[in-house]
Structure 1
Amino acid sequence: MSCFPCFSSKRSNSRKDTGPTAVVRDSEFENPVPKNQTDAIPNDTGNANISAKTFTFRELASATKNFRPDYLLGEGGFGRVYKGSLENSGQTVAIKQLDRNGFQGNKEFLAEVSKLSQLHHQNLVNLIGYCADGDQRLLVFEYIPNGSVEDHLFDLSDGKKPLNWYTRMKIAYGCAQCLEYLHETVNPPVIYRDLKTSKLLLDADFNPKLSDPGFARPGPMGDLMGTYGYSAPECTNTANLSVKSDVYSFGVLMLELITGRRVVDTTKPTNEQNLVTWAAPMFKDQKRYHELVDPLIEGDFPAKDLNQIVAVAAMCLQEEASVRPLMADVVVTLSFLTNPGPGSLFHSLPLPPEGGGAAAHE
């Protein structure tokens, strides 16, 4: 599209599109504490470069009352995440178990934890610590109390109010900043690879935080293609991951924020079930942009901002990866769209009821 005047970042050519690192994967749930569980990490695991705190399995089992069902926060394809309270500090955390079959041993696991522990950004969920007792693999993250973007876009039960336009732009901007950090500041770059609304969490002030990134191993691996509907065409066809694959997924996420529609919704008419396919014809006609906007926003958005944000989404969703912008360019553009002007109905949203928070980390 030609209506993209703000894509002028000087950093656009500062980093190549490739440069994946290794995958940290989620796990299957194991409930009982093993009888012969050791409390110490072997001395030969090479954990000297890890800045995160070391926990024993018994400490984390105690923090979750032995992984009680009512402490369960979320469950993904690779395991479960539990809310816990650390005994010494009383800090509330999210504890995730990892697939013990996903690593050859402690050295490999700790090498990946070392990489994860070096990532620090205001829009990235912070890794607090880890556990590598025996064959146990767990990660401890900060607890994010306000649930996921998915919860606030598609589930308005429990008295939730719809996200207003500026909150949605704030979410998009924070997510873009985090991806820019992963792509252009971290060396080698980190490809998030599975960006979606359930992975984007919201703190008490509705600031977005990406849950822990999966480190993508190079090569045509089928499990790296992400989630259907969010994955870029090149991932589906060739599993050829790059930072531009994340840009495509970000475009899908932006489209969900604009429309309030799920990326795939089989309850809608056949021609509207795939969000990107449904929206694509409207990208070509600026007069139709208003048809994309979530009716729950009730028309409270600046028309000129809508034109720009739809242009950003359309550029991110280009079929050819080389045509998509870098996240640095997206950040520059979104920085002008996050603050309400005089008279705008921008207001903070109420917190969900107690117990309604979640830390997806799926």
Structure 2
Amino acid sequence: MMIIIMTVFSFLICFFLCLPPSFMHSSFAAFVMAKDSGGHPSGGKTSSAESFCYTKYRYIFGVFSLWNPLKLVISCLILLNLFKITISTKEPDTEGNALLDLMLALNDSNGQTNWDPYLVSPCFSWNHVNCRDEHVESLNLNSLGFSGTLSPAITKLKFLVTLDLSSNNLTGRIPKELFSVAMFNFTGTHLACGVSLEEPCIPGSPLRVSTSMSRLKVIATSASCGAFIFLILMAVLAYRYHQFHKEKNDIFVDVAGEDDRKFSLGQIRRFSWRELQLATDNFSENNIIGQGGFGKVYKGMLSDNMKVAVKRLADYYSPGGEAAFQREVQLISVAVHKNLLRLIGFCTTSSERILVYPYMQNLSVAYRLRELKPGEKGLDWPTRKNIAFGAAHGLEYLHEHCNPKIIHRDLKAANILLDDNFEPVLGDFGLAKHVDTKFTHVTTQVRGTMGHIAPEYISTGKSSEKTDVFGYGITLLELVTGQRAIDLSRLEEEEEVLLLDHIKKLLRENRLDDIVDGNLKTCDRKEVETIVQVALLCTNSSPEGRPKMTEVVKMLQGIGLAEKWAKWEQLEDAMNQDLSLMSRQYIWAEDSCTDQEAIQLSKAR
């Protein structure tokens, strides 16, 4: 009967756990829907009691929504326990029969035991018997006044650990299997241990097993296990509830005590520190693909298999580092153009500022020009021409279509990245600056790469869009020649270390073919000449003499280039004549000084 009751009870619990929340709360569904939409099921106003019930219901429903993953676990535990109880009705029956045979042989005339053969198992209610895992573990018949023989059926108690038959008037031979019991006591009996019934028996060690204490331990252990399981379930629910509200109330700054930073971020995603750790293999040195003044750039793979470039700002603790983060996030979030690097997201902690960009499969223009590995594809002339146009359009957007204007300040081949289709995108806006449209932007610190920095920027610290134009001109020369802006190896053959001076020298000598990169198999000479002319116009020593990027875009198409190039040649010729005259004057003055010294030495003494 007990088995039937427990079976029905267990299946009822399992059925309840398997019910969907919508079924369990169907009586409240209409109320909740009406409440969420601002109405009321009855069409009237909500009372304070109803409001209280509604609030409580929503909280309970939220907890039940987190309970679903645990239903299967609880159901399995209940069914497993039921299975164990069912099994116990078979195994303990064998042990129960053995105990009954033992009792018949012991002649329990005094009724010291209440062993009822109709009970399910001796483990539930038989006195003097203790069980563990549904098997008889201890049998204590000490001083109960038994007389008779010891039944061999006692050897069927395979899990017996403690046996105490002491102080009973028993006769017969002790089965040898009982000596394998861990603790036994046969003192005060007439049981024989050997072949002969007259052979004395080793008494063993006296044992006193408290049945009530043993059962108390079982109850305490069971209660502890139940409490432990309950605490685990509550901890899981509390954790899920905390995570649920944390995700809903997530804000930009995740470190207490930091100043709030409000940005117009558009569709930029906020990453967790753990996500980026996993994406970059814990920021492994093997994943570094670049390094600049503001930190290292790591190649990473997000959980959705998207490749990213993770820029970890190195100088967050300095004022420049914090400003760099705010500047870069704000600028890139509003500067959207096909030739500008798109910011995917960012990450903030108490000590880290990280920016996440899409990974450019073809790396940078500088890599494709000078750092190719064997077997990798270089840049042909149509691709180089397309890069020149794309970079010009991106820079024009920053200067003319952003308000306030944005100055890149470090435009070079290494900062022009190439996507899967070799389309150029301008990267590294960590060095960008806002420029008020009414004033020239003055900086207190020169940033950029030597060979690309405009002369006036070095001497005065003033930066404007014209400093970017200068850097763009040097980048065009890199595209045509494949060489670096500064190359000390040229000192072996000439005095010009700067690429700009080297190109001007070759033009004066009418050696245009020597300007073109030797890795280019074919190129359009006219297009090369156009790009070189635009580059030299952009690198005018005077910022006022440089074109705007809107003009540069037109000149690349041949619009207005001839007129500006003619003026540039006139100015360059005049400058070369002045330099030549100054050089001759310097030589004459040097010679005259020598002659004067000779005359003075020839005077009479």
- Report the TM-score, using the length of structure 2 for normalisation: 0.46
Cα deviation for residue 116 of structure 1 reads 2.2
Whether the 8 Å CA contact 1:153–1:163 is kept in 2: the answer is yes
1:308 partner letter: T
The percent of aligned pairs where both chains have the same amino acid is 38
1:90 aligns with 2:312: no
Q: Which protein is bigger by CA-based radius of gyration?
A: 2
* Worse overlay, 107-116 or 188-197: 107-116
Match of 1:216 in 2: 433
Q: Distance in 1 between matches of 2:454 and 2:474?
A: 9
Give the direction of change, closer, same or farther, for the CA distance of 1:262–1:41 in structure 2 (3 Å limit).
same
Q: Distance in 2 between matches of 1:96 and 1:278?
A: 35
1:275 aligns with 2:499: yes
Match of 2:286 in 1: 70
The SS at the match of 1:183 is helix
The SS at the match of 1:75 is strand
Q: Deviations over 1:81-112 (max 9, x none)?
A: 1111222x332111111121244897984465
1:289 partner letter: L
Cα deviation for residue 55 of structure 1 reads 1.5
Match of 1:293 in 2: 516
| Pairing 1:77-116 to 2, within 5 Å after superposition | 77-87=293-303, 89-98=304-313, 99-103=315-319, 109-110=325-326, 112-116=328-332
Match of 2:422 in 1: 206
Q: Distance in 1 between matches of 2:470 and 2:325?
A: 29
Cα deviation for residue 196 of structure 1 reads 1.1
- Report the TM-score, using the length of structure 1 for normalisation: 0.75
Whether the 8 Å CA contact 2:280–2:287 is kept in 1: the answer is yes
Give the direction of change, closer, same or farther, for the CA distance of 1:243–1:283 in structure 2 (3 Å limit).
farther
Whether the 8 Å CA contact 1:47–1:114 is kept in 2: the answer is no
| Gap runs ≥5 in structure 1 | 1-37, 338-362
Q: Distance in 2 between matches of 1:231 and 1:146?
A: 26
Higher relative contact order (CA 8 A, sep 6+): 1
Cα deviation for residue 191 of structure 1 reads 0.5
| Pairing 1:80-159 to 2, within 5 Å after superposition | 80-87=296-303, 89-98=304-313, 99-103=315-319, 109-110=325-326, 112-159=328-375
Q: Distance in 2 between matches of 1:190 and 1:330?
A: 17
Q: Distance in 2 between matches of 1:108 and 1:260?
A: 31
Q: Distance in 2 between matches of 1:252 and 1:105?
A: 28
Aligned length: 296
Q: Distance in 2 between matches of 1:57 and 1:335?
A: 47
Match of 1:194 in 2: 410
Cα deviation for residue 332 of structure 1 reads 2.0
Give the direction of change, closer, same or farther, for the CA distance of 1:102–1:181 in structure 2 (3 Å limit).
farther
Cα deviation for residue 309 of structure 1 reads 1.5
Give the direction of change, closer, same or farther, for the CA distance of 1:44–1:79 in structure 2 (3 Å limit).
closer
Q: Distance in 2 between matches of 1:292 and 1:171?
A: 18
Give the direction of change, closer, same or farther, for the CA distance of 1:47–1:54 in structure 2 (3 Å limit).
farther
Give the direction of change, closer, same or farther, for the CA distance of 1:90–1:45 in structure 2 (3 Å limit).
farther
Whether the 8 Å CA contact 1:64–1:85 is kept in 2: the answer is yes
Match of 1:22 in 2: none
Q: Distance in 2 between matches of 1:104 and 1:155?
A: 31
Cα deviation for residue 146 of structure 1 reads 0.5
Whether the 8 Å CA contact 1:244–1:326 is kept in 2: the answer is yes
Q: Distance in 2 between matches of 1:106 and 1:278?
A: 40
Q: Distance in 2 between matches of 1:293 and 1:247?
A: 22
Backbone CA RMSD of aligned residues: 2.5
Cα deviation for residue 57 of structure 1 reads 1.6
Q: Distance in 2 between matches of 1:261 and 1:334?
A: 21
Match of 2:254 in 1: 40
Cα deviation for residue 162 of structure 1 reads 3.6
Whether the 8 Å CA contact 2:366–2:413 is kept in 1: the answer is yes
1:247 aligns with 2:469: yes
Give the direction of change, closer, same or farther, for the CA distance of 1:142–1:279 in structure 2 (3 Å limit).
same
2:462 partner letter: N
* Worse overlay, 115-124 or 152-161: 152-161
Q: Deviations over 1:157-187 (max 9, x none)?
A: 2213442211111111111110000010011
